[in-house]
Amino acid sequence: MSAPAPIPTDFSSRTHPRILCLFDVDGTLSPARGDASKEMIDLLARLRQTCAIGVVGGSDLKKIREQFHVNGGGRDGVTLFDYFFAENGLTAFKFGKPLATQSFINWLGEEKYQRLAKFCLRYISQLDIPVMRGTFIEFRNGMINVSPIGRNASTEERHAFEKYDKEHGIRPKFIAALKEEFPDYGLTFSIGGQISFDVFPHGWDKTYSLRFVTGEDSTNEPQWDEIHFFGDKTYKGGNDYEIFSDPRTIGHTVTSPEDTARQLEELFFSS
């Protein structure tokens, strides 16, 4: 096996140094929660000679690294891309070097966070629902996840709550109360899954990552002629929707990693 190519430190050697391609991970470069294939990693290496490339995943750094580990030929997944964004860019790398990290608690501050957490717990304590378990607030790096029934609920209890919530609107009412109580906090509330909703700052979707490539945070980024984005959940409500429809990007919807490969061949390698 030959030694891996050195990590690039600029874009000047690319065929198109002013084109950047950004990729979602799950369903775009890899099967959902699975490993990127050797073929995909080889294709990305080839594409990297043509233009700049980056990844924008919603999962945390550890998870995305793992997805490029098995077939990455011993390379750290972070170095397979010019830009590497985990948690939508809350953790960011360029040329394998960390750029910045941000967290929900840093952004909101302890005092405001405690007011929010206490309000949630008080609100839950006054709910009348058939079942309550434990872990009502899960504290994560980029968000909090709030569950009226608690995240310790069993699968059966989750199904039952979901049904009950559809009839009684527990989560929508909870969110309405939070919006009324904290109108100035700049928070987005998003119902997902069966038993909970996410709370995170406005704009902390995948468009968060664009600040690092557009020079909004540093001054020496190239003026890209084109920023392409490839993702599978580009419909409204999907986690690629905002960056896909952002005026700064050219959006491409893919149906699978194989479809991504096909579209890349067509766009960049067919003559």
By annotation, the residues acting in catalysis are 24, 26
Shortest Cβ 20–Mg ion spacing (Å): 19
What is the layout of strands, in order, in the sheet containing 52-56?
97-101, 91-94, 83-86, 52-56, 19-23, 226-231, 250-253
Shortest Cβ 63–Mg ion spacing (Å): 13
Shortest Cβ 146–Mg ion spacing (Å): 24
Q: 32 or 121: whose CB is closer to Mg ion? A: 32
Q: 147 or 234: whose CB is closer to Mg ion? A: 234
- Sign of the alpha-carbon torsion through 25, 27, 30, 31: positive
Q: 62 or 122: whose CB is closer to Mg ion? A: 62
Instruction: Give the pair of three-digit tokens for residue 26.
Output: 């799950």
CB 88 within 8 A of CB 58: yes
Instruction: Give the pair of three-digit tokens for residue 138.
Output: 């899960």
Shortest Cβ 246–Mg ion spacing (Å): 16
Q: 21 or 124: whose CB is closer to Mg ion? A: 21
Shortest Cβ 206–Mg ion spacing (Å): 10
Residue 211: CB atoms within 10 Å? 17
CB 125 within 8 A of CB 94: no
Q: 161 or 200: whose CB is closer to Mg ion? A: 200
For residue 92, the SS3 value is strand
- Sign of the alpha-carbon torsion through 2, 38, 231, 15: positive
CB 4 within 8 A of CB 74: yes
Question: Cβ contacts of residue 22 below 8 Å, gap of 6+?
Answer: 53, 54, 55, 56, 83, 209, 213, 227, 228, 229, 230, 243, 249
Which residues would be at the binding site for Mg ion (CB under 5 A)?
Answer: 24, 26-27, 232-233
Instruction: Give the pair of three-digit tokens for residue 142.
Output: 């980029």
